[in-house]
Chains A and B, each alone.
Chain A
């Protein structure tokens, strides 16, 4: 595979860098691009990822790279160390060559909430790449990286993956170390993988998963080997509020599974309609605590000319954070205020228990749930199609997996009106293998779409110059 040689072969590298730059002029998926970063060179030949370049969402630490989380408050911050996942990939010889754009601190569904760049969808530059891992998804779809790392708190890997026509894996909660990732909502956040190739998604996940002493929420990964040969699928019925294209793709996917002889059952998730209030209560509450550390004292943006430490903190935060971040901090602070906790936070946590119970019941009868990743395909920039409020309500199909801690994979499910549509599978804890197998079943009928202008690395490197 040429990906292993692209950084080492001067001629290949030149063509590759040119290809990246051409795409980047249009999509702006990366905040940092440095193909000259020294290759670790330790795992020559031995590892599947040896010398392979990859892209990292900018809320995961990569030593000596800017580390902004898409925020003005960290605009000039440079990471002093590598996150645990990066360290693992270093030892396998993979090379981080860039940091991808994102909604500020992971808050958003469009990447338009980045304070530093506007990322466009490679399929239609007028549209968003999704979010918050929009830069990672756009970079993968454009073929400028074989895989990218992202984070998923309420759908931030799966929704942009579906908008850009690639795979996006949100692993089981606690299966991948988050040491070195900037926390948004600690009881929900996971690091995961985006790629155009399901085997690559699986390979990278297998290599980064596992217990880590530096992240006390990680657990030993003990694979759940249920029904790998002939899994039973469940799907949602009734009015799900889907756009025409997503509804068509959903129906088509169910038909494919049936036609291939799989058992497919109708299911209901009674708690689905309460996902959004519970998710936004819990995630904003946790965010308000996690983001308290950005106060202009020890690092990051500091407002000039203030006369007391308190004024310094308030001014630095108010000037450094964007609107969506301020809104979520305010909501989180509000639901945690004394007197309100039972009404909001505790209630939301009880609903979370209900959601987990729902899934326990569901997975008693079936192995995998097929669900929409998002109710629409990629929407246009500037809130013309969906207001920020509507975007938040649309997170219900994705955030439910974070509340339950279960793994979920969004996969390309066809191209409608020139835009890719993604759907997702949910599986029980520690059954990522089921997700990969299911995605391979679908890929036999619906190949991963190629965005116009996409070239494989072989096409990029072996084409004659000029």
Chain B
């Protein structure tokens, strides 16, 4: 079982806030999975390099040219709270 403190640190890093009941339930489910992950200790991966993507044939690049995206105003419209073209957030300081 994960220590409760470990779970809460992880939750905070993930920007999640858990109440008591939820923390308890998620800790059980997470611990069960992490214990299962221990199965990986048995695998011999000596001399194998990690795969980051299943199929990367080449390093894809593109010309450094600005693209025009005409959606900016509509995207601002999608914000939950705004003032003119600004998105409102609670006081930072």
Same complex for A and B? Answer: yes
A329-B17 in contact (CB<8A): no
Chain A residues near B7 (CB, 8 Å)?
A: 330
Please provide the chain A residues from 316 to 359 with a CB less than 8 Å away from any CB of chain B in the complex: 317-318, 321, 323, 326-327, 329-335, 337, 344, 346-354, 356-357
A219 within 8 A of B: yes
A210 within 8 A of B: no
| Distance of A219 Cα from B60 Cα, bound (Å) | 9
Chain B residues with Cβ below 8 Å from A217 are: 53, 56, 60
Q: Is the CB of A308 within 8 A of B90?
A: yes
Given the known interface contacts A326-B26, A327-B30, A403-B54, the answer about A216 and B60 at a Cβ–Cβ threshold of 8 Å is yes
Tell me the complex Cα distance, A5–B7, Å: 56
- Supposing A173-B55, A302-B81 touch, asked if A333 and B37 sit within 8 A by C-beta, the answer is no
Residues of A within 8 A of B57 (CB): 219
Q: For chain B residues 29-66, which have a beta carbon within 8 Å of chain A?
A: 29-30, 32-34, 36-40, 43, 45, 48-57, 60, 62
Q: Mark A15-59, 1 if CB is under 8 A from B, else 0.
A: 000000000000000000000000000000000000000000000
Question: CB distance A314 to B87 under 8 Å?
Answer: no
Q: A74-104: which residues lie under 8 A (CB-CB) from chain B?
A: 77-78, 80-81
A192 contacts B by Cβ under 8 Å: no
A228 to B40, CA, bound (A): 37
Given the interface contacts A81-B71, A219-B57, A330-B7, does A309 sit within 8 Å of B89 by beta carbon?
yes
Residue of B at shortest CB range from A78? B78
A384 to chain B, nearest CB (A): 18
If A216-B60, A403-B54 touch, does A323 touch B39 (CB 8 Å cutoff)? no
**Are B91 and A308 within 8 A (Cβ)?**
yes
A349 touches B51 (CB 8 A): yes
| Contact across chains for A392 and B33 when beta carbons are under 8 A apart | yes
- Residues A243-287 near B (CB distance < 8 A): 271, 273-274, 276-278, 280-281
* A350 adjacent to B91 (CB under 8 Å): no
B34 touches A350 (CB 8 A): no
Which A residues are CB-close (under 8 A) to B62?
213, 216
A427 shortest CB reach to chain B, Å: 14
Given contacts A300-B80, A337-B10, A353-B49, contact A330 B30 (CB under 8 A): yes
Q: Are the C-beta atoms of B53 and A187 separated by less than 8 Å?
A: yes
Tell me if B33 and A346 are in contact (CB < 8 A): no
Given contacts A80-B71, A280-B37, contact A350 B49 (CB under 8 A): yes
B39–A274 contact, CB under 8 A? yes
A347 touches B55 (CB 8 A): no
Q: Which residues of B contact A403 (CB under 8 A)?
A: 54
Max chain B CB contacts within 10 Å: which of A315, A321, A347? A347
Which one of A108-116, A288-296, A372-380, A409-417 contacts B?
A288-296
Knowing A219-B57, A274-B43, A349-B52 are in contact, say whether A306-B29 is a contact too (CB < 8 A): no
Determine whether the beta carbon of B13 is less than 8 Å from that of A333: yes
Whether A306 and B51, one on each chain, are in contact in the complex, defined by CB atoms closer than 8 angstroms, is no
Contact at A277–B37, with CB atoms within 8 Å? Answer: yes
Contacts of B54 in A (CB 8 A): 173-174, 187-188, 352, 356, 402-406
Measured between beta carbons, the chain B residues less than 8 angstroms from A292 are 15
CB contacts (< 8 Å) of A276 on chain B: these are 36, 39
Minimum CB–CB distance for B11 against chain A, Å: 6
CA of A23 to CA of B14 in the docked complex: distance in angstroms?
A: 40
Contact B90 A327 (CB under 8 A): no
Answer whether A318 and B34 are a contact pair too, CB < 8 Å, given A216-B60, A219-B57, A353-B48. no
Contact B36 A277, beta carbon cutoff 8 Å: yes
Measured between beta carbons, the chain A residues less than 8 angstroms from B51 are 349-350, 352-353, 356
Query: Do residues B26 and A327 form an inter-chain contact, with CB atoms below 8 A?
Result: yes
Chain B residues, Cβ within 8 Å of A347: 40, 43, 45
A173 to B57, alpha carbons, bound, how many Å?
11
**Nearest chain B CB to A187 CB, angstrom units:** 5
Complex Cα spacing A217 to B58, Å: 9
Q: Which residue of B lies closest to A309 (CB)?
A: B89
Bound CA–CA A295/B89 (angstroms): 11
Verify if A436 is at the interface (C-beta below 8 Å from B): no
Q: B1 contacts the other chain (Cβ, under 8 Å)? A: no
Interface pair A331/B30, CB less than 8 Å apart = yes
Q: List 28 A-B contacts (CB under 8 A).
A: A174-B55, A216-B62, A219-B55, A274-B40, A276-B36, A277-B38, A277-B39, A280-B33, A297-B79, A301-B80, A302-B80, A309-B92, A317-B15, A317-B17, A318-B18, A326-B18, A330-B26, A332-B14, A334-B34, A337-B10, A350-B48, A350-B49, A351-B40, A352-B50, A352-B51, A356-B51, A388-B29, A389-B32
* Residues of B participating in the A interface, judged by any CB pair closer than 8 Å: 2, 6-7, 10-11, 13-18, 22, 25-26, 29-30, 32-34, 36-40, 43, 45, 48-57, 60, 62, 71, 74-75, 78-81, 87, 89-92
Q: Which A residues contact B (CB, under 8 angstroms)?
A: 77-78, 80-81, 172-174, 187-188, 213, 216-217, 219, 271, 273-274, 276-278, 280-281, 288, 292, 295-302, 306-315, 317-318, 321, 323, 326-327, 329-335, 337, 344, 346-354, 356-357, 388-389, 392-393, 402-406, 429
